[in-house]
Amino acid sequence: MGEHTLGQGQSLIQPQPQPQPLPAATPPDSDLANVPPQTHSPATKIPLRPRKIRKLSPDPSTSESQTEPPKPAKSGGRSTKPPPPPRALAVVPRIVARSLSCEGEVEIALRFLRNADPVLSPLIDIHQPPTFDNFHTPFLALTRSILYQQLAYKAGTSIYTRFIALCGGENGVVPDTVLALTPQQLRQIGVSGRKASYLHDLARKYQNGILSDSAIVNMDDKSLFTMLTMVNGIGSWSVHMFMIFSLHRPDVLPINDLGVRKGVQLLYNLEDLPRPSQMDQLCEKWRPYRSVASWYMWRFVEAKGTPSSAVAVATGASLHHQQQQQQQQQPHPPQPQLLDPINSMFNLGAACAWGQ
C-alpha cells in the first residue's frame, strides 16, 4: 500500500516536471549541439529577407513621397520614370522655321536673331526688315536667272522682255514652249547659244520629270541644291539666291557670296575675309534663320559702300548702278574668285527675278 501510494504520489508529482521543454529551452547548449544545421540554415536565410525588403520598400516609398504624394500605392516605383521626359523636353525647344512668306515669320526670325547674336542686333534695329512677298513659279524664276546671267540690268531686261513676247507672256513660260524655241529664234532676241542650251536643258529636265515646280517647292534644301546644280548653267550661288528670294527658304547661307562673307568679316572684326569653308561655323548661331541674317549682311556691306552682287537681290538696287561701283573696285584682283565661274560678280540672273 505504501509503495502503491508512493507510486501514485510520484505519478502525481511527475506532471509538474512535464514542462521539461522549459529546461530544454533554457539550456541552449544541448539544443545547439544537437541541431546545428537548423540553426545555421535560418541564420543564412533570415538576413537575406530583410535586405531584399529594405531595398525594395524604401525606394518606391521615398520616390512616391517626393514625386507623387497623393498616389503612394498605385504609382509605386514606376512614377519615378518621368526622368526620361526631361530629356525629350530638352529636344523639343528646337525651332522649326517656316517659309519667310508666312505671316509673322520674319518678326519671329528677328526676335530669334536678336537673342542669338547680340552683335547682329544693332543692324536689325537700324535697317527696315526684309519682305518676302513676291512669287514666281520655279520654272519662270530659274529661266529668268539664266537669261540675266552676266548682263547689266538694262540689257538683261531687254532680252527678257523679248523672250516673254516669244512665249506669249510670263504665263506662257513653260517647258514645252521653251523647247519649241529654236536656238536661231533665241539668238535673234539676244540670247547666246550657250544660254539657249541652258534654257533647253532646264526645260528638258522638266519634260522628263527629273524636275517639276511641285517637286522643287516640296524638296528639302540639300536635295534641291543637288538637283538644281545638275542643270547646265545653274551654279551654287544661283541656287542659294533662288532658295532665298523665290522659295523664301528661311535657313540658307550663301557661303560663296562676297557680300555675306564681307559682312561677317566686318561684323565680327575678322582680319581676313572668311573662307566659304569657315562660314558654316561662324554663322551657326543664326540657325534656323540664316537667310534673314544673310540679308542683313548685304545691307551692312551696302551701308559700308562695298555692295556685292547679292545686295541687288536683297535691296532691289539697280544693277547698272552696282556695276559702276564694282568697276571702281576692279583693280583688286581677288574679286573673280569669290564666286563660282558660272556665277561671276555680275551673274545676277536671280537678282532681276527677285530684286524687284
- The CA distance from 17 to 196, in Å, is 127
End-to-end CA distance of the chain: 144
- The CA distance from 112 to 89, in Å, is 19
- Assess contact for 207 and 179: CB atoms under 8 A: yes
- The CA distance from 170 to 243, in Å, is 20
Question: What letter would DSSP give residue 99?
Answer: -
What confidence score (pLDDT) does residue 242 get? 95
- Of 113-127, 190-204, 317-331, the range with the lowest mean pLDDT is 317-331
State whether CATH 1.10.3720.10 applies to domain 138-354.
no
What confidence score (pLDDT) does residue 83 get? 61
- Assess contact for 346 and 238: CB atoms under 8 A: no
- For residue 44, pLDDT beyond 80: no
- Of 9-13, 128-132, 343-347, the range with the lowest mean pLDDT is 343-347
In the chain, the amino acid numbered 102 is C
- For residue 227, pLDDT beyond 60: yes
- For residue 142, pLDDT beyond 80: yes
| Tens digits of residue pLDDT in 163-219 | 999 999 999 999 999 999 999 999 999 999 999 999 999 999 999 999 999 999 999
- The CA distance from 255 to 239, in Å, is 12
What confidence score (pLDDT) does residue 244 get? 96
Closest CA to 172 of 193, 143, 209: 143
- For residue 98, pLDDT beyond 90: yes
- The CA distance from 234 to 254, in Å, is 14
| Tens digits of residue pLDDT in 46-67 | 455 555 444 444 444 444 444 4
What confidence score (pLDDT) does residue 300 get? 95
pLDDT band at 134 (very low <50, low <70, confident <90, very high): confident
For residues 328 and 99, which has the higher predicted lDDT (pLDDT)?
99
Which range is most confident: 25-39, 68-82, 147-161, 182-196? 182-196
Long-range contacts of 92-99 (CB under 8 A, 24+ apart): 95/288, 96/288, 97/250, 97/251, 97/288, 97/289, 98/250, 99/132, 99/247, 99/248, 99/249, 99/250
pLDDT band at 305 (very low <50, low <70, confident <90, very high): confident
**Domain range list for the chain:** 138-354
For residues 227 and 352, which has the higher predicted lDDT (pLDDT)?
227
